[in-house]
């Protein structure tokens, strides 16, 4: 007979740490070691203030639904048992709950939030409205976050690192041309341009998206070619256009916007 007795509906019960395993659907992969040590020290003195949540997967075996950070810190603090609520959840519900808890973390950056929203939609088969209801945000907010994932990797990195704000990012989304987006990013980083100024620059930019506008690429209606263009744009971090010719021939046009930009591309090719 186990040393822990747990009721799915009851108050939190103490479960042996040795019987608990981490959530394989946990969207968070990085746990700051220093922050964990600080939490562990707090737990040594005050105990766990908020119980973790688990599901029973086998006799005397539990899997974390939420609270993995508290669980890891408890192990570091040397605790043999942790308070936990037991819930019944299938794999789909596990993923959903883990993603929602991840989104609700205060220190999550906008790109990780956007990725979690997208995973809720794609892997949990939820609509924008259903996601907004589960995370307690309005639909427009959810949509604006997901749109960030359309930006080039270099801009996403700047958002993730806190180098540019959500306001800057939302302005840059309205630029259709990757090269122009990156040029404006460079201006923001080097000159500290305000969001309002960037919005003004976007409004006058020749690469600005217009309602109902289409890209000038001659292969816009051929998804395979457009996918290749996007992959090359992500690789070179600039505008790439494929133009098809007769009998399968064609051209790949890689844009550059300054001598430095050209040298950057040449350095990439040399490697």
d(CA 225, CA 215): 13
Question: Looking at the annotation, which residues are catalytic?
Answer: 68
* Both structure tokens of 44: 């040594």
Q: Which residue has the tokens 């968070």?
A: 28
Q: What is the pLDDT of residues 49-97, one digit of tens each?
A: 889 988 888 888 898 888 888 999 999 999 999 999 988 766 677 777 7
- Give the β-pairing of 250-254 and 240-244: antiparallel
Sequence ranges of the chain with CATH classification 3.90.1530.30: 13-89
Q: Is the pTM of this model over 0.85?
A: no
Where residue 90 falls (left for φ over 0; alpha for ψ -120 to 50; beta otherwise) is: beta
Run of H or E residues at 62: strand 61-66
Cα–Cα distance, 60 to 57 (Å, whole number): 8
Q: Which fold has domain 13-89?
A: 3.90.1530
Confidence of residue 271 (pLDDT cuts 50, 70, 90): low
pLDDT confidence bin for 223, thresholds 50/70/90: low
């Amino acid at each position: 007979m186990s040393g822990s007795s747990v009721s799915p509906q009851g108050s939190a019960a103490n479960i042996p740490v040795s019987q608990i395993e981490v959530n394989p659907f946990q969207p968070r992969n990085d746990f700051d070691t220093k922050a964990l040590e600080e939490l562990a020290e707090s737990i040594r003195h005050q105990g766990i203030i908020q119980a973790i949540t688990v599901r029973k997967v086998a006799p005397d075996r539990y899997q974390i639904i939420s609270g993995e950070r508290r669980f890891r810190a408890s192990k570091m603090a040397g605790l043999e048992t942790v308070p936990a609520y037991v819930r019944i959840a299938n794999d789909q519900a596990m993923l959903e709950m883990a993603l929602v808890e991840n989104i609700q973390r205060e220190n999550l950056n906008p790109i990780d939030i956007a990725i979690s929203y997208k995973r809720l939609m794609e892997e949990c088969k939820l609509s924008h409205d259903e996601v907004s209801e589960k995370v307690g945000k309005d639909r427009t907010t959810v949509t604006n976050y997901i749109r960030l994932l359309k930006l080039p990797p270099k801009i996403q990195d700047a958002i993730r690192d806190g180098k540019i704000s959500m306001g800057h990012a939302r302005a840059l989304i309205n630029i259709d041309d990757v090269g122009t987006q990156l040029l404006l990013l460079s201006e923001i980083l080097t000159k500290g341009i305000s969001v309002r100024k960037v919005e003004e620059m976007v409004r006058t930019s020749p690469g600005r998206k217009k309602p109902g506008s289409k890209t000038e690429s001659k292969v816009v209606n051929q998804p395979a070619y457009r996918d290749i263009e996007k992959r090359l744009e992500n690789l070179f971090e600039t505008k790439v256009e494929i133009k098809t010719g007769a009998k399968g021939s064609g051209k790949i046009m890689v844009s550059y916007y300054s001598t430095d930009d050209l040298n950057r591309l040449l350095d990439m090719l040399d490697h």
